[in-house]
């Protein structure tokens, strides 16, 4: 099989030339460079000393991690025997010391969960691995999970969302944020089964995937505290009104929006912050790309308004209002004693602290 060389940072790795056509060799995706950049940044700021790349493929993350951080033990796991050959060759070509495992990840986690940082970047959903991660990871371990099943998480495939994540969903104008909050909510509920709480460090959406970094807190009280960040969401697809609510505090038979339309009940999803602002600041010192810096800036600002963003173009179309620029809207909101900010989820999106009526007044 012919090979090609791919460069990323200071490393060069070999992948099969026809890898995109092969069902046997995991592909190398250059778009995931940001994912790897942020993962290495997290490892640096939290002084990680023992790292597991749970689904290593050809080894890009593992090799970069070992190259870019001193005194770190990097464990690279890949179940596919053909891929292991590329992983081993890439390790030797880049002259790095990796601990290579050729095991099913769930089996490996049951044998050894004593890592400072476990990163799981599957093709699709991380659900098949979360139970073993959360039951075996030690207290204060950092977990990174990637999800690329956006159709399910974001509400396009409602039945799949119930099956896989236990969440009632629908298509919304804030679908990317719903998807991320859906994923974090599932992690929180799964963790609670093992009397584990989670501390969200940093989460984001980019192009075709979600990434969540969190710290494991092995404590019954922390698990209970974590679950307080779960809630249902009322959403009207006519007025675009949305708000969080406690399921035991609402009469579902009187569940109507001010416009007269019946609200959709979505969730349960994560209603809390999806990033720690101090972690955003620390990460900004570790990553170099302009797009990465922009993501960090926007994500940090977003934590001040937790109600899901509005797609302003769709909102103005429905309300028959002329579209204003986001900077103008933010200024008017500030002058009105309200808050508005941009979102990294959607270039046409805007987070707003008020309700639909107040947003309409600002846009007029």
Domain with 357 in it: what CATH number? 3.30.56.70
**Domain tally, the chain:** 2
The predicted structure's pLDDT at residue 27: 67
Same domain as 332, residue 264: no
Same domain as 316, residue 298: no
Examine the fold and report which residue of 281, 302, 323 is the final residue of a domain before the chain moves on.
302
CA angle 293, 297, 298 (to 5 degrees): 120
Check residue 252 and report its DSSP letter.
G
Same domain as 113, residue 21: yes
Task: Tell me which residue of 346, 343, 356 sits closest to 315, measured CA to CA.
Answer: 356
What is the total residue count of the chain? Answer: 364
The predicted structure's pLDDT at residue 254: 66
Task: Tell me which residue of 314, 244, 309 sits closest to 272, measured CA to CA.
Answer: 244
Average of pLDDT values for 258-268?
A: 89
Q: Domain span at residue 104?
A: 3-302
Q: What gap in Å lies between CA 13 and CA 33, rounded to an integer?
A: 13
| 307 token code pair | 């109600």
Find the CATH number of the domain harbouring 83: 3.40.50.150
Contact yes or no for 98/124 (Cβ under 8 A): no
Query: How does pLDDT run across 2-52, given as a tens digit for each residue?
Result: 678 888 888 988 887 765 544 555 667 778 999 999 999 999 999 999 999
Query: How does pLDDT run across 54-108, given as a tens digit for each residue?
Result: 999 999 999 999 999 999 999 999 998 888 999 999 999 999 999 999 999 999 9
Same domain as 273, residue 147: yes
Examine the fold and report which residue of 280, 302, 324 is the final residue of a domain before the chain moves on.
302
Return the SS3 of 85.
helix
Q: What gap in Å lies between CA 43 and CA 64, rounded to an integer?
A: 12
Q: What's the predicted TM-score (pTM) here?
A: 0.94
Q: What gap in Å lies between CA 42 and CA 74, rounded to an integer?
A: 14
Q: Any residues with CB less than 8 A from the CB of 136 and at least 6 apart, and which?
A: 109, 110, 113
Same domain as 211, residue 318: no
Residue 299: which H helix or E strand, with range?
helix 290-302
Same domain as 216, residue 72: yes
The predicted structure's pLDDT at residue 75: 98
């Amino acid at each position: 099989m012919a090979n090609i060389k791919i460069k990323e940072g200071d490393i060069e790795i070999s992948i099969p030339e026809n890898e995109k056509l092969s069902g046997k060799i995991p592909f190398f995706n250059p778009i995931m460079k940001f994912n790897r950049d942020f993962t290495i940044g997290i490892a640096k700021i939290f002084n990680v000393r023992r790292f597991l790349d749970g689904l290593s493929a050809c080894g890009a993350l593992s090799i970069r991690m070992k190259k870019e951080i001193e005194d770190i033990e990097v464990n690279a796991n890949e179940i596919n025997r053909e891929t292991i050959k590329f992983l081993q060759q890439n390790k030797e070509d880049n002259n790095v010391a990796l601990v290579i495992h050729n095991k099913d990840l769930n089996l490996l986690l049951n044998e050894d969960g004593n890592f400072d940082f476990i990163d799981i970047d599957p093709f699709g959903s991380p659900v098949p691995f979360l139970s073993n991660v959360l039951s075996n990871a030690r207290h204060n371990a950092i977990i990174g999970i990637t999800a690329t099943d956006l159709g399910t998480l974001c509400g396009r495939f409602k039945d799949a969302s119930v099956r896989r994540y236990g969440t009632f969903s629908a298509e919304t104008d804030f679908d990317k944020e719903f998807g991320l909050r859906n994923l974090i909510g599932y992690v929180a509920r799964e963790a609670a089964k093992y009397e584990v709480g989670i501390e969200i460090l940093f989460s984001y959406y980019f192009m075709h995937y979600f990434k969540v970094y969190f710290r494991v807190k092995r404590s019954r009280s922390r698990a209970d505290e974590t679950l307080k960040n779960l809630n249902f969401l009322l959403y009207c697809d006519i007025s675009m009104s949305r708000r969080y609510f406690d399921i035991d505090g609402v009469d579902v038979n009187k569940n109507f929006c001010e416009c007269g339309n019946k609200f959709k009940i979505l969730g349960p999803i994560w209603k809390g912050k999806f990033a720690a602002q101090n972690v955003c600041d620390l990460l900004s010192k570790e990553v170099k790309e302009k797009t990465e810096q922009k993501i960090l800036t926007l994500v940090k600002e977003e934590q001040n308004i937790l109600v899901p963003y509005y797609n302003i173009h769709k909102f103005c179309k429905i309300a028959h209002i002329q579209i204003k620029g986001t900077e103008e809207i933010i200024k008017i909101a500030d002058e009105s004693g309200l808050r508005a900010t941009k979102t990294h989820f959607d270039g046409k999106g805007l987070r707003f602290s008020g309700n639909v009526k107040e947003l309409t007044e600002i846009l007029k």
